[in-house]
Structure formats: C-alpha cells, structure tokens
Amino acid sequence: MQDNDFFISKTLSRMDLNTTSKDVYPLTYWCRTVHSKYEMWNTKPHSHTFWELHLCLSGSCEIESGDTKFLLTERKFLLFAPRQKHTVLSQSPDFCKFVWGFSVPDEALQKSLLSAYRTPALQEADEELLHSISLILENTASRSYGFHSIIKAQLHSIFLALARQAGCAEHGEYEKTHSEEMAQITEYIRENLAANITTDDVSAAFFAGKGRIERLCKAEYGMTFAELKRKLQTEQIRKLLQEDDLTIDEIARQTGFADRYSMGKFFKKAEGMPPVQYRKSFRK
C-alpha cells in the first residue's frame, strides 16, 4: 500500500461515519427542471427568502439581476442569494434548466455564503456538479430502490461544492470520540471471541497502535485489554449457558477456548462454579 493510500485508510478508520448531527444539511424548498416549452414565465423582478440555483442544461436564457444581464447557456449557472431580485428576459425554445431552492440553517455558514455570493456571477459547472445533477435526474426517472436517499445525497454534494467554492471553513470535528471508538472495539472483540483475537488483531483492524488500544481500555473500563477480553468471554459464556441449547464443547469453541476443559477452568475461576453447574442452577 502506498503512503497516501495508507493515510487515507487510516484517516477513514478514525472517522465517525455513523452520525450526521455535526453535518450541515440545506433545507430544500423546491428542486426541479424547468423547460421553456412547458412553463408560464414570471417576467417581473422577484426574489425569495432562500437561495436559488439556476443551471442551464440546454438552450439559452437571458436573466437580469440588478443592473446586470446574464446569458445563461449550457453548463453555466447562477446562484442567487436570499432577497436578491432577478427576472427572466427571454429564453430559447429548447431552453431547460435545473433549479434548486434551498435555505441554510447554520448561521455561520449562511454568513460565509452571503459574503461570497452577495453579487451574482455567471459560473461554469464542473464535471462533478454535472454528474450530481445527472444522478438526480436519472434516479427521479427510475424511482428504483433507494432513489430518494441518492437524490438527497447528491443535493448535499452540490451544496458542499458551492460552500467550498465560497471558501467556507470546516464545521465541527468528525473523528470518533474515545467512547465511540471503544464501543466499536468492544463490539469487534465480542464478535470475534471464537477467533481468540489479540491486541495485534484489534490494532490491525482499527489502524491503532497496541499502546492506544490499551490506553482506551484503561480510560473507558479501567482495565487492560486482556481483562476486558476475559470479561467479555465470561459474559458470553453466561449468555450461551442461559439462552442456548449448545453443548459445552460448542460454547467453548464460540468463546475462544481450545476445549471444554480450559473453558471450564476459566469459568469456574470467574464465577465460582463450573459451566454445567451454572446451567443447572440457572434452569431451576
């Protein structure tokens, strides 16, 4: 693996990708395509309380905002800020545009966007933006499983592209907290007890040094990795003895022991009685 590939892999492994509470999502008012041959155009100057993106898909259109006239042609777009007056002067018969009206709930981000886009300017859409719009249109047409989620994701991608272009700073931290990371490590150990995993295995799986694994165990549970593993083994043995009709040999294999005797010795030390006696006492 190349150095940069390793960096990407390690960075991704450290990121909390399960929550969206720190992400800034725009609120959509409308999203549609507008065709010259189907529309009744509003030729009066008007504005909205939200942002409006106009991206030409085909043909051409002349739009006026303030004292400036813009010729919107294929791949070109205009982004109008809230309360920014604009009007359509004319359009070709084959004119079609993608229109998205949205608001930005985050005040700091809204301020940054207003500073960057206070004055409208004709811009060229890059391949990434065009690809996002293409996916939106394709999924709207197909309405295949998950199409709604894909459309929302692509709108978010367009929004982030606009925010980056405006030079907006990163909002929030996205690395896992110690608790999140330790919860995932704990679950990984629990799910792989049968493999009798070690700190080396966990270190490789989470791209974290063995020292870090030990520190996380100590900080979260006040115990070493070995102690945590023994605790999880004990809990799993108790669970299987209580709930399942597995044999003692099968339980031993599922919890990382070579045979029933080594598991029995381990369990008796932890619980004060052998597995068979525990199962009988629980079923009384």
* Number of domains observed in the structure of the chain: 2
Same domain, 19 and 160: yes
- What six digits make up the tokens of 208? 């974290």
Say what the pLDDT of residue 243 is: 82
Residue 252, domain CATH? 1.10.10.60
Neighbours of 143 (CB within 10 A): 8
Asked if residue 99 belongs to a domain, the reply is yes
Domain end residue (candidates: 110, 141, 165): 165
Is 171 within a domain?
A: no
Domain containing residue 122: CATH number: 2.60.120.280
* Distance separating alpha carbons of residues 256 and 233, to the nearest angstrom: 8
Encoding tokens for residue 190? 């629990």
Same structural domain for residues 158 and 199? Answer: no
Are residues 158 and 24 located together in one domain of the fold?
A: yes
Q: Note whether residue 210 is domain-resident.
A: yes
Q: Which of 140, 165, 190 is the last residue of a domain?
A: 165
Cβ contact 56:75 at 8 Å: yes
Q: How many other C-beta atoms lie within 10 A of the C-beta of residue 117?
A: 19
For residue 207, which phi and psi values (nearest 5 degrees)? 50, 45
- Structural domain ending residue among the three candidates 117, 136, 165: 165
Segments in the chain forming alpha helices (H): 3-14, 107-116, 127-142, 147-165, 178-191, 199-206, 210-221, 225-243, 248-254, 260-271, 275-283
Domain of residue 84: give its range. 15-165
| Per-residue confidence (pLDDT) for residue 128, from 0 to 100 | 93
Does one domain contain both 139 and 187? no
> Does any domain span residue 139?
yes
The per-residue pLDDT string of the chain (284 residues; one tens digit each, 9 = 90 and over) reads 457 777 777 777 777 777 555 667 889 999 999 898 877 766 788 999 999 999 999 999 999 999 999 999 999 999 999 999 999 999 999 999 999 999 998 888 899 999 999 899 999 999 999 999 999 999 999 999 999 999 999 999 999 999 988 888 765 567 788 898 999 999 999 999 999 999 999 998 888 899 999 999 999 999 999 999 999 999 999 999 998 789 999 999 999 999 999 999 999 999 999 999 999 887 66
- Domain shared by 185 and 160, yes or no: no
What pLDDT shows up at residue 75? 96
Residues 139, 260, single domain; the answer is: no
One domain for residues 56 and 124: yes
Report residue 25: phi and psi, to 5°.
Answer: -105, 135
Degrees to nearest 5, angle at CA 255 with 253 and 256: 70
Do the domain assignments include residue 245?
yes
Q: 112 is written with which tokens?
A: 């940054």
**Same-domain pairing of 116 and 199:** no
Are 161 and 185 contained in the same domain? Answer: no
In a domain, 6, yes or no: no
Dihedral sign, CA of 184, 232, 210, 224? Answer: positive
Are residues 279 and 185 part of one domain? yes
Q: Is residue 5 part of a domain?
A: no
Q: Are strands 87-91 and 60-65 parallel, antiparallel or unpaired?
A: antiparallel
